[in-house]
Chain A
């Protein structure tokens, strides 16, 4: 097998196009092919996780149990979280990294192409395993995406073992992807491309990759400990054997908090390329952006217990984690101010990537505000585990991660496909997503403050009006994403041919290659002044 691939490499100069047929995709080591597969996979997972969310919102449309029983409802909330986090957001960013990092740093491919192929193909296996649990006797995971012990150990359905192995596979995939990104960025930059000349997307991904390598083993560790508790008689998380269920939460959130930044930092990077392009003005404060990203990443290791303010932490602990969490607002604020200053006195146009980016900045900041409120420990006693938290993290993740991904997709679609996408439809997609998203998630602040706990299938009438509005917004947002699918397919199949640089204000090596980007680019490294 390796001989065949080596042969392919030897014959490199004669071999410009991709192989034909299905095996092209199974065996490919080309960063563009793998990037494409990651993006399609992530979109499929986005629709799957979204359909779970539709079930949740349909059940919550009105008080009373109408559509599903509580047992299945819990499986839906769990699977929605897992599929969106590990299946939609993370692979989408890895896909963008695969496509764009080599093009941005002037590399011919990712540094470790065969590992790249393997890390992608682990994902369909992992998610097949995970989703298959829904059809098992006793049902799929029903303990929330945070799977707190002992609900996820002693009291879990039998399918929890499949869940654990699925998480292991996702972990392997993410770590390999991260190693690949680091190796590519550190070794394959074009001559003259110093670290401080790299586009911010590359910078944020470099930092994200280090975060991934630091915390994915922690996640793997915590599920392995669960596995041993369930099957091999250990008691890491069982008080009966001298263990501690709270230990689970510490370990989980030591992974979980950096994970939040893993899902948002690459979006920061992409938006930092898109806003200058459409403001036709260089990014304000490039250096401080890099430092702000690095400090957010470092601080993310020191704040995990703010997810656990109610487990009974002593006063000094609460104060430490409260202060540390509030500090994160500083570098995040710097980034927001920098984006706003980049727009200031620019010459702006509002194509779809810019619309999504501006919405990203504003709505993500709203999520940041509620995050700041949640950081205040005494107030968190009222917010914790209510819909206020649900509103908060959806404001951070939907306009943050998801809008960031949409902005990137529209921004680079011409480069990927060689065609311009349909701008009118894209704007429609934006406005419907924007309205649907706000309608779905803004009322959740209200019901949360009014006292509605999260993860409940049924509620008192006092929460009814806002829940109905939320559900309608969620259906609209969900349906709108089919429009995105249509736009992308339309763009692949045809449209106005895209020039090498379709955006007049754009800057960067990726715009120096033709559109669509040829199968092999930068076989000879470009020179960066």
Chain B
């Protein structure tokens, strides 16, 4: 009973059907945690119970439709009641339900386990991105969709992870209990990673709790599962599960990067450098509303091309981006982006799509603006 034939068969099948197979997926993923596998087993158990009941009931109906027709000369019977039979088909389904309820209850109790965790992460939903904060670790970042607008608008070929790719994935260690504290900063979102069988609503003003213990390193993808407005379909979740040393290394690097980011603030920037960086940051943070061509989607999302803000005094432009426009869809980015990115975006906006202000807003300007408020 060698396992090899299975493995080779699997690889062969994968080679043959490889890409096509993915798009014909018909079932839930068993996932990569104990919980997700027990959920999968539960799903399959109930599915097969339903199939059996279906085959019996539909089989009887179809049999009857073939045999008991007038065209076959069938005389109708006259029975219309049988207490025994009716009690039987009340009690039997009830028993089947009990059989289903037992494993379901066990799995549910397991999911509600509240033992200590190894790592706590706060997950906050925003319109339309996720924010992750590693509690007690001084690491936090936003996770934005990176699929280019051109792919969405069918001007470019779509990548393999179309709409399921982000700039900063959530990174967690393997074989460690990770607790998620889930909330939202605006409307209700839902954080869902199928491979974990974790789906929890992110509710503004409330904190929800969930956990996972991933047992295989790899990249896992999920999406927001609660309608949260315009870009509900464009705020995916990507989780990278790393071995513990890799995770530690990542964490350390992340902290270094945060420091390096701060140093960039004091760097001497040229207009070209800033614009180039701004173009990328604009595509990630601004283009879904103001559009890649700067023309926006009026009246909700005004055009920046030729707008009085983007071609007027820099002060007003900085103010708008950093503090937002209360009462409109324009968010305050002062806390969401680094000074460098804000400066780059503003510089880009002032010099793109025929906006020819020609000036440059440096990270230091943003810092000064923020300091002036303190």
Smallest CB-CB separation from A147: which chain B residue? B227
Q: Tell me which residues across on chain A come within 8 A of B25, comparing CB atoms.
A: 446, 449-450, 462
Interface pair A372/B50, CB less than 8 Å apart: yes
Interface pair A151/B187, CB less than 8 Å apart: yes
- A322 to B112 Cα, complex, angstroms: 15
Which positions 182-202 of chain B face chain A at CB distance < 8 Å? Answer: 186-188, 190, 192, 194, 197-201
Instruction: Tell me which of B23, B68, B194 contacts A345 (CB under 8 A).
Output: B68
Report if B297 contacts A (CB, 8 A): yes
> How far in angstroms is the closest Cβ of chain A from B144?
16
Interface pair B80/A74, CB less than 8 Å apart: no
Smallest CB-CB separation from B43: which chain A residue? A379
Report if B324 contacts A (CB, 8 A): no
* Interface of B (DSSP majority class): mixed
Interface pair B80/A284, CB less than 8 Å apart: yes
Instruction: Tell me which of A70, A323, A340, A381 contacts B198 (CB under 8 A).
Output: A381
Instruction: Tell me which of B28, B58, B79 contacts A382 (CB under 8 A).
Output: B28
Q: Tell me which residues across on chain A come within 8 A of B71, comparing CB atoms.
A: 349
> When each residue 433-455 of chain A gets 1 if its CB lies under 8 Å from chain B and 0 otherwise, what string results?
00000000000011001110111
> When each residue 1-43 of chain B gets 1 if its CB lies under 8 Å from chain A and 0 otherwise, what string results?
0000000000000000000001111111100000000110011
Interface pair B97/A327, CB less than 8 Å apart: yes
Which positions 145-161 of chain A face chain B at CB distance < 8 Å? Answer: 148, 150-151, 154-155
Given A65-B152, A144-B227, A373-B50, also A245-B205 (CB < 8 A): yes
> When each residue 331-368 of chain A gets 1 if its CB lies under 8 Å from chain B and 0 otherwise, what string results?
00110111011111111111000000010011001100
Report if B278 contacts A (CB, 8 A): no
Report if A460 contacts B (CB, 8 A): yes
> How far in angstroms is the closest Cβ of chain B from A420?
18
> How far in angstroms is the closest Cβ of chain B from A379?
5
Report if B115 contacts A (CB, 8 A): no
Q: Tell me which residues across on chain A come within 8 A of B54, comparing CB atoms.
A: 365-366, 369
Which positions 276-306 of chain B face chain A at CB distance < 8 Å? Answer: 297, 299-300
Interface pair B232/A343, CB less than 8 Å apart: no
Report if B354 contacts A (CB, 8 A): no
Q: Tell me which residues across on chain B come within 8 A of A285, comparing CB atoms.
A: 80-82, 86
Stretch at the interface among A1-9, A168-176, A312-320: A312-320
Q: Tell me which residues across on chain B come within 8 A of A283, comparing CB atoms.
A: 80
Smallest CB-CB separation from A155: which chain B residue? B187
Smallest CB-CB separation from A281: which chain B residue? B76
Interface pair B190/A310, CB less than 8 Å apart: yes
- A320 to B233 Cα, complex, angstroms: 32
> How far in angstroms is the closest Cβ of chain A from B40?
8
Report if B230 contacts A (CB, 8 A): yes
- A451 to B151 Cα, complex, angstroms: 21
Interface pair A461/B162, CB less than 8 Å apart: yes
- A464 to B161 Cα, complex, angstroms: 13
Smallest CB-CB separation from B35: which chain A residue? A378
Q: Tell me which residues across on chain A come within 8 A of B350, comparing CB atoms.
A: none
> How far in angstroms is the closest Cβ of chain B from A62?
8
Instruction: Tell me which of A138, A345, A449, A453 contacts B225 (CB under 8 A).
Output: A453
- A449 to B299 Cα, complex, angstroms: 37
Q: Tell me which residues across on chain A come within 8 A of B50, comparing CB atoms.
A: 369, 372-373
Given A312-B208, A340-B61, A456-B223, also A385-B190 (CB < 8 A): yes
Q: Tell me which residues across on chain A come within 8 A of B232, comparing CB atoms.
A: 70, 74, 453, 455-456
> How far in angstroms is the closest Cβ of chain A from B123?
13
Given A340-B60, A348-B68, also A310-B163 (CB < 8 A): no
Q: Tell me which residues across on chain B come within 8 A of A499, comparing CB atoms.
A: none
- A346 to B127 Cα, complex, angstroms: 59
> How far in angstroms is the closest Cβ of chain B from A358?
7
Report if B101 contacts A (CB, 8 A): yes
Q: Tell me which residues across on chain B come within 8 A of A462, comparing CB atoms.
A: 22-23, 25
Q: Tell me which residues across on chain B come within 8 A of A201, comparing CB atoms.
A: none
- A155 to B204 Cα, complex, angstroms: 13
Q: Tell me which residues across on chain B come within 8 A of A458, comparing CB atoms.
A: 152, 163, 233-234
- A464 to B163 Cα, complex, angstroms: 13
Report if B93 contacts A (CB, 8 A): yes
Q: How many of chain B's residues touch chain A, expressed as a range?
A: 35 or more
Per the CB 8 Å criterion, the residue count for chain A at the interface is 97
Report if A143 contacts B (CB, 8 A): yes
Report if A69 contacts B (CB, 8 A): yes
Stretch at the interface among B103-111, B242-250, B260-268, B358-366: B103-111
Report if A87 contacts B (CB, 8 A): no
Given A285-B80, A348-B69, also A150-B204 (CB < 8 A): yes
- A326 to B97 Cα, complex, angstroms: 7
Smallest CB-CB separation from A374: which chain B residue? B46
- A462 to B46 Cα, complex, angstroms: 25
Instruction: Tell me which of B60, B69, B153 contacts A64 (CB under 8 A).
Output: B153
Smallest CB-CB separation from A341: which chain B residue? B85
Q: Tell me which residues across on chain B come within 8 A of A350, comparing CB atoms.
A: 65, 69
Report if B226 contacts A (CB, 8 A): yes
Instruction: Tell me which of B23, B75, B225, B297 contacts A71 (CB under 8 A).
Output: B297
Smallest CB-CB separation from B203: which chain A residue? A245
Report if B270 contacts A (CB, 8 A): no
Q: Tell me which residues across on chain A come within 8 A of B194, comparing CB atoms.
A: 382, 451
Which of A64, A74, A143, A323 has the most B CB atoms < 10 Å from its CB? A64
Which of B54, B69, B82, B187 has the most A CB atoms < 10 Å from its CB? B187
Q: Tell me which residues across on chain B come within 8 A of A384, comparing CB atoms.
A: 190, 199, 225
Interface pair B108/A348, CB less than 8 Å apart: no
Instruction: Tell me which of A69, A151, A446 contacts B227 (CB under 8 A).
Output: A151
26 interchain pairs, CB-CB under 8 A: A64-B158, A65-B154, A148-B226, A148-B227, A151-B227, A155-B127, A282-B78, A284-B80, A285-B80, A285-B86, A310-B200, A315-B112, A319-B108, A334-B89, A347-B68, A347-B69, A347-B75, A376-B104, A377-B104, A378-B42, A381-B111, A453-B233, A457-B233, A459-B233, A463-B23, A465-B23
Q: Nearest 8 CB-CB pairs, A to B?
A: A239-B205, A456-B233, A369-B50, A450-B25, A345-B77, A282-B80, A312-B208, A347-B76
What would 6 more interface pairs be, CB under 8 Å, given A74-B232, A378-B42?
A70-B231, A155-B187, A286-B81, A340-B57, A340-B64, A450-B29
